[in-house]
Structure 1
Amino acid sequence: MNLKPLTPDASPRAAFGAELRSMREGLGMTQDHLSQRTGYSPGHISSVETGRKSPTLPFAQKVDRAFGSGTKFANLFLDVRASALLQGFGHYVAHEAKATELRLFEVGIIPGLLQTLEYAAVLATASVNRGSITEAQAAERLDVLASRQALITRQPPAQLYAVLDESCIRRPIGGPEVMSAQLEWLVELAGLPNMTLQIAPYAMGESRSLDLPVYLLGLPDRSTAAYSESAQQGLFERDPEAVHRLLTAYHHLQVEALPQAASVALISKAREEIQ
């Protein structure tokens, strides 16, 4: 049989398929054997391996049971589900949902957890218009965001600390109506008992300790994980030394940023200026 060459670096879907074939063959299992163990046809398995079909969570879970691979393929599926975003983001989202504490810093754009639906939709549509993602991926992006935002209101809620560079509230997104509503929503969020919201003003200059977006998760086992992004890929970090450096920089940022009352006043002023 002539197997179709796989290109795992092409996309999260391709990476899932390549890993599926690699593990199946490593276990000496044919597609027929895997079909018998999962209930999916050999043709379906072949289509997932070659990237012609996208896996589903039930499929990934049945593959994990068939291979005895724990949650390996369920975790890989998270990257496929978040394929409208950067590769690696799915792993972050899985841990974010379990976090008891979240510290975030963002530049230029209101972070997803704090976005209104209208603001998020404008950004997704702009990506479609640029050809960066498809309309289906834009819808997927909004679905993922909506599920993530449950972190704020779940019971018990996670404790959230957000430091936004002033550029986040100054950059006009979606026109006056969308931007005004977004800034009003930030003010409302600042009133939640589990939320601390600060602005890092332009006047901080070189004293701002972080230059790129960073997310720090406090997890139920009392460990801390970090997520950061480059232009091409997201990095989910569990190494204690690397995470500690980012956490230290974040603490410096919180000290230097405006306190919450002054931050809310600045957001309200920015909102008045766009009306």
Structure 2
Amino acid sequence: MVVGTTRGKRKLGALMEQYREKSGLKAEQIIKEVRTTRSTWSRMITGEARPRWALFFAILAVMKVSDEERERAMMLWEVADDEAVPIKHANSLPKNYLRFRRDESEAVAERSADAVLIPGMLQTAGYAAALAAGSHLLVPTEDWDEWIAPERVDRQALLHRKPDPLRVHALIDEAALRRKIGGPDVMRAQLDHLIRLAELPNITIQVIPNGLGAYGAFAGNFVILDFADDLGSVYFETLTGGVSVEDGDGVAKVREVWDDMAAHALSPAETVEVVRAVRGS
């Protein structure tokens, strides 16, 4: 049994719970019949682990699923452990953030909103390191400041993924451009980096100008992930490592908020001019 959640495992777990409800059996009945443990069953249903093949097949047999249902479950089982990109530092990453990183590696597009900082996907190594050093009371592990920069580089490899690089559309509050992280040299390099990234065909950057007041600030920091095969998910950054939402109505509402923010933000061309102006000030 391989432990560690992926979208594939969560989809498999949801399907197995659906089959269990349809069968009319209680989880305890199935657990007893196949001679497994409650924790093993729970990890499967929540998407934390994929069961061994023999156990998985036995569970399907006890629930008396149809041939078509068995085929669907078997297909999900085959891909449940797949990850588009290996995650470095996985053992050191906070659980919720690791889940986000795994989901992000499978996404085709990402839309973000940041009211305070430059988004992680667009940070330079210097900016990321300065951020870690300046927020030592909030970092997830003691050695976070040592590997946050290489972790960001590893994550940003998705921007150059072959053959389909991750499409990124970032909304950044103007205040984040003006917040001095790491000193003048670090900020100049970060702003220059944003200007270069804005030239890539798969990256769109829009600034929410100060003139809009608190319009963008109320939403906080979040990332919407879009996948080729479902409605997507939202990751909200928090002091405890972040929260992922996969509920369809919840994701749809956040998308509506993001779309409204994008409609009020500066155009990509105007954004580059603002970044240049801040960089030169």
Question: Shared fold by TM > 0.5?
Answer: yes
Question: In the superposition, relative to structure 1, how do residues 179 and 66 fare at CA in structure 2: closer, same or farther (>3 Å)?
Answer: same
Which residue does the alignment assign to 1:259? 267
Which residue does the alignment assign to 1:239? 247
Which residue does the alignment assign to 1:175? 183
Secondary structure of the 2:219 match is coil
Question: In the superposition, relative to structure 1, how do residues 153 and 210 fare at CA in structure 2: closer, same or farther (>3 Å)?
Answer: farther
Alignment of 1:61-76 (within 5 A): 65=52
Tell me the distance in 1 between the aligned counterparts of 2:54 and 2:212.
53
Which residue does the alignment assign to 1:123? 131
Secondary structure of the 1:227 match is strand
Q: Which moved more, 1:164-173 or 1:136-145?
A: 136-145
Which residue does the alignment assign to 2:166? 158
Please report how far the alpha carbon of residue 223 of structure 1 lies from its aligned counterpart in structure 2 after TM superposition.
2.0
1:148 aligned onto 2:155: yes
Which residue does the alignment assign to 1:98? 106
Aligned length: 211
Are 2:174 and 2:210, in contact at CA under 8 Å, matched by a contact in 1?
Answer: yes
Tell me the distance in 1 between the aligned counterparts of 2:192 and 2:214.
29
Tell me the distance in 2 between the aligned counterparts of 1:166 and 1:115.
15
Please report how far the alpha carbon of residue 66 of structure 1 lies from its aligned counterpart in structure 2 after TM superposition.
9.1
Please report how far the alpha carbon of residue 153 of structure 1 lies from its aligned counterpart in structure 2 after TM superposition.
1.0
Question: In the superposition, relative to structure 1, how do residues 190 and 28 fare at CA in structure 2: closer, same or farther (>3 Å)?
Answer: closer
Which residue does the alignment assign to 1:14? none
Are 1:113 and 1:145, in contact at CA under 8 Å, matched by a contact in 2?
Answer: yes
Question: In the superposition, relative to structure 1, how do residues 132 and 92 fare at CA in structure 2: closer, same or farther (>3 Å)?
Answer: closer
1:200 aligned onto 2:208: yes
Instruction: Render the CA deviation track for 1:228-255: whole Å, top value 9, x for unaligned.
Output: 1233241111111000000000000000
Amino acid of the structure 2 residue aligned with 1:81: A
Structure 1, unmatched stretches of 5+, are 1-22, 30-59
Amino acid of the structure 2 residue aligned with 1:213: N
Tell me the distance in 2 between the aligned counterparts of 1:84 and 1:90.
6
Tell me the distance in 1 between the aligned counterparts of 2:270 and 2:220.
23
Which residue does the alignment assign to 1:17? none
Identity %: 29
Tell me the distance in 2 between the aligned counterparts of 1:233 and 1:160.
22
Are 1:82 and 1:141, in contact at CA under 8 Å, matched by a contact in 2?
Answer: no
Secondary structure of the 1:125 match is helix
Please report how far the alpha carbon of residue 137 of structure 1 lies from its aligned counterpart in structure 2 after TM superposition.
3.0
Question: In the superposition, relative to structure 1, how do residues 28 and 262 fare at CA in structure 2: closer, same or farther (>3 Å)?
Answer: closer
Please report how far the alpha carbon of residue 124 of structure 1 lies from its aligned counterpart in structure 2 after TM superposition.
2.0
Are 2:138 and 2:239, in contact at CA under 8 Å, matched by a contact in 1?
Answer: no
Structure 2, unmatched stretches of 5+, are 1-30, 39-47, 57-76
Question: In the superposition, relative to structure 1, how do residues 261 and 84 fare at CA in structure 2: closer, same or farther (>3 Å)?
Answer: same
Tell me the distance in 1 between the aligned counterparts of 2:102 and 2:253.
23
Q: Which moved more, 1:205-214 or 1:222-231?
A: 205-214
Question: In the superposition, relative to structure 1, how do residues 82 and 181 fare at CA in structure 2: closer, same or farther (>3 Å)?
Answer: farther
Tell me the distance in 1 between the aligned counterparts of 2:231 and 2:219.
24
Are 1:209 and 1:253, in contact at CA under 8 Å, matched by a contact in 2?
Answer: no
Are 1:84 and 1:140, in contact at CA under 8 Å, matched by a contact in 2?
Answer: no
Question: In the superposition, relative to structure 1, how do residues 139 and 66 fare at CA in structure 2: closer, same or farther (>3 Å)?
Answer: farther
Secondary structure of the 2:239 match is coil
Which residue does the alignment assign to 2:144? 137
Are 1:210 and 1:253, in contact at CA under 8 Å, matched by a contact in 2?
Answer: no
Are 2:173 and 2:217, in contact at CA under 8 Å, matched by a contact in 1?
Answer: no
Amino acid of the structure 1 residue aligned with 2:227: L
Which residue does the alignment assign to 2:90? 81
Tell me the distance in 2 between the aligned counterparts of 1:206 and 1:180.
25
